[in-house]
Structures are given as C-alpha cells and as structure tokens.
C-alpha cells in the first residue's frame, strides 16, 4: 500500500466524513465565474470556459478535475446568468456538480457595477469501495472483504441539492468579490452497504484583480485569491501579462504558510482568433508531496463571443427631412 492509499484509508474509515477541499485551478484569473456566481455576465458577452486539470502527476489516486461553464448578461433585467458543470475525482471517490446561477447587477457611480447572486444545483458523490484497502481486510485470491462496517464493498452513489452565494464589484479595470461555496448543503447519509455521514464543507472565497495598461499593446493584471474553511486558509498571488491581445504569460505562487505551501505556477496562452483562447498552466510542486510527483498540468479552452448579447433597445428611427411633407 502506497502512502497516498494509506492516507485515503484514514479518511474513509471515519464514521463522519468531511468533503474534500474545493477543486484547485491555476488559471483562475481568466475564470472568475468558476468560483463566484456573482461574476456571471460581467464580461458583457457570452463566455464559455472548459478546463481539464491533472494534479500531482505520477502520484497514484491524485485528483483529476474537469469544469465547463458558460455565462452571459441579461441586459433587460440588469442581470447575469450562468451554468457550471464540474467533475472532481480523487482516489476511490468522485464528486460531480451541476449548478445554475443568477445575479442582479446595479450600477454604482459612473463606472462601478455591484452584482449579488446565487446558485442552486445538484451534487453527486460516488465512492468505489473496491478501491479501498484496510489493515484488517482480506484481499487474497482476488477476494474483497474490508471487515469494516462503515466501508462499502462496491460502488455507491448519493446526491444532494447545494446552494451558493456571491457578491462582486467591478469597474473597467478592477474586479473584487467574495463567495460561499456552498452556502448550504445537507448531510450526505449512506446506510447500506456502507454506513457513514458526509458533510460538504463550506468554503469562503475572496478574490481580486486589477488591470494596468502600458501603451496600446501590453496589459498587466495582478490578482489575489484566498480560500478558507475557517480552519485552514490558502492564499495565491498571480500576475498575468497580455501582449497585443494575443499572447498570454503568467506566474503565481500558492501557499505562503508551512501548512498551505503548494506550488509555483507558470502559465502561457495564445489567442487563436478574436474569440478563442488556449491556455496551459504547469504547477511546480513545493509542498511535502514534491518528492512523489512531477507537478500538475492544466489546460483551458476559452471562448468569448466579444459582442454584446441583445444589448439595450434599438436606436430611435430618424426620418429624413426630405420625406416629411
């Protein structure tokens, strides 16, 4: 049994379990709606993001995550709407989620926009008991017996509703926000064949970024992302440069404490055309797991329609004086 499997064993043999931390993403500067429902529609266009992340390469059972989201503004009611689909697998368990979100947007001053929103969705938890091993278990001759009342022998699947809340304030160059993911979710209960309770942990996210422009070609965007469950907190600082709206380069550091120290991230991207961008991020491990893995890979495909969707009313008809009699 490797170290990772042993760690999973201690997690799953508890009667009351806590859900895993929020999925980790490195290209978060380009995807604020991915962790805050109040950011839906803020880009004043249809935006679609697809992310695939493979974490801790060479470490058995390491997380593999996918997310697809889409959002757009609804000008007629001063709002934004969006949908997010996410799948996060780690070892023998997998969490899938489908969320729809709505926010109301209110202009503040001449350039500010305050958005308050929430999301509602469904979360499915799957545990594959055949991938678990216990010290007292019997696994000889291809047998499978955990000898543990709380662990299933096969695969179980349980679903619950989940709710999110978020707030954001933005200007042409600034975006700051906060979210609770989830703000509420009932306890997942399983009685047979494994008996345990699983409580989805509430996480709080704070984020901010500001864009500096240097001439007509270079834009520099530093940002900060904080995630906390009020027990542990992880901070990430990042900077992204965009040259001629085509070439993207970025670097970030995730950690800043002995408990949360995680990785240095290098990011690069290319605008394939005026609507489609491809971004790749590589995490250089800095945590205690650095000797057991070769880092993490993340690939993002981003589509931005780059045009307002049904913005406002049509301009008034102005008749040519030549035809007025």
pLDDT one-digit tens code per residue, 177-189: 999 998 877 766 6
Is residue 37 domain-resident? yes
Whole-model pTM: value is 0.84
Per the structure, the complete domain to which residue 8 belongs is given by 3-309
φ, ψ of residue 302 to 5 degrees: the values are -120, 130
Mean pLDDT estimate for the chain = 84
- Which range is most confident: 117-121, 139-143, 287-291? 117-121
- Kindly state the percentage of the chain with pLDDT values over 70: 82
The residue-averaged pLDDT of 216-225 equals 97
Is residue 98 domain-resident? yes
Is residue 86 domain-resident? yes
Does the N-terminal peptide bond of residue 240 adopt cis geometry, omega within 30 degrees of 0?
no
Is residue 320 domain-resident? no
Q: How high is the pLDDT of residue 157?
A: 81
Which residues lie across from 8 on neighbouring strands?
A: none
Tokens 């469904």, residue?
Answer: 122
- pLDDT above 80: residue 18: no
Q: How high is the pLDDT of residue 1?
A: 40
Instruction: Report the Cα 168 to chain-centroid distance in Å.
Output: 16
pLDDT-derived band at 81 (thresholds 50, 70, 90) equals very high
Q: What is the CATH number of the domain that holds 47?
A: 2.40.160.40
Q: How high is the pLDDT of residue 318?
A: 43
The C-alpha angle with vertex 32 and arms to 201 and 251, in degrees rounded to 5, equals 100
Residue-wise pLDDT for 132-165, tens only, equals 777 777 777 767 777 776 677 777 888 889 999 9
Q: How many domains does the chain have?
A: 1
Q: How high is the pLDDT of residue 307?
A: 85
Using H for helix, E for strand and C for coil, what is the string for the chain?
A: CCHHHHHHHHHHCCCEEECCCCCCCCCHHHCHHHCCHHHCCCCCCCEEEEEEEECCCCCCCCCEEEEEEEEEEEHHHCEEEEEEEEEEEECCEEEEEEEEEEEEEEEECCCEEEEEEEEEEEEEEEEEHHHCCCCCCECHHHCCECCCCCCCCCEEEEEEEEEEEEEEEECCCEEEEEEEEEEECCCEEECCCCCEEEECCCEEEEEEEECEEECCCEEEEEEEEEEECCCCEEEEEEEEEEECCCEEEEEEEEECCCCCCCEEEEEEEEECCCCEEEEEEEEEECCCCCCCCCCEEEEEEEEECCCCCCCCCCCCCCCCHHHCC
Is residue 318 domain-resident? no
- pLDDT above 60: residue 175: yes
Q: How high is the pLDDT of residue 52?
A: 98
pLDDT-derived band at 231 (thresholds 50, 70, 90) equals confident
Is residue 123 domain-resident? yes
- pLDDT above 50: residue 30: yes
């Amino acid at each position: 049994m490797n170290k990772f499997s042993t760690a999973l064993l201690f997690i799953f043999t508890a009667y009351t379990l806590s859900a895993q931390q929020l999925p980790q993403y490195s290209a978060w500067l380009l995807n604020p709606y991915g962790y805050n429902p109040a950011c839906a529609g803020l880009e004043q266009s249809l935006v679609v993001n697809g992310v695939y992340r493979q974490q801790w390469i060479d470490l058995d059972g390491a997380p593999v995550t996918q997310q697809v989201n889409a959002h757009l503004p609804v000008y007629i009611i001063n709002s934004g709407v969006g949908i997010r689909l996410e799948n996060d697998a780690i070892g023998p368990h997998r969490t899938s989620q489908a969320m729809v979100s709505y926010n109301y947007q209110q202009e503040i001053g001449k350039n500010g926009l305050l958005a308050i929103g929430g999301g509602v969705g469904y979360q499915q938890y799957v545990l594959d008991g055949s991938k678990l091993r216990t010290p007292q278990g019997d696994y000889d001759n291809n047998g499978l017996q955990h000898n543990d009342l709380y662990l299933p022998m096969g695969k179980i699947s349980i679903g619950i509703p989940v709710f999110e809340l978020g707030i954001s304030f933005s200007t042409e160059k600034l975006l700051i926000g906060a979210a609770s993911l989830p703000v509420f979710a009932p306890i997942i209960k399983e009685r047979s064949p494994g008996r345990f309770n699983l409580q989805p942990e509430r996480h709080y996210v704070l984020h901010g970024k500001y864009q500096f422009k240097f001439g007509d070609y270079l834009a520099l965007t530093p940002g900060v992302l904080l995630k906390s469950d009020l027990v542990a907190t992880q901070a990430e600082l990042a900077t992204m440069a965009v040259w001629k709206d085509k070439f993207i380069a970025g670097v970030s550091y995730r950690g800043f404490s002995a408990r949360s120290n995680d990785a240095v991230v290098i990011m690069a991207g290319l605008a394939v055309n005026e609507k489609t961008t491809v971004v790749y991020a590589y995490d250089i491990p800095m945590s205690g797991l650095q000797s057991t893995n070769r880092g993490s890979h993340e690939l993002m495909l981003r589509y931005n329609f780059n045009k307002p969707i049904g913005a406002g009313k049509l301009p008034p008809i102005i008749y040519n004086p030549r035809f007025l009699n």
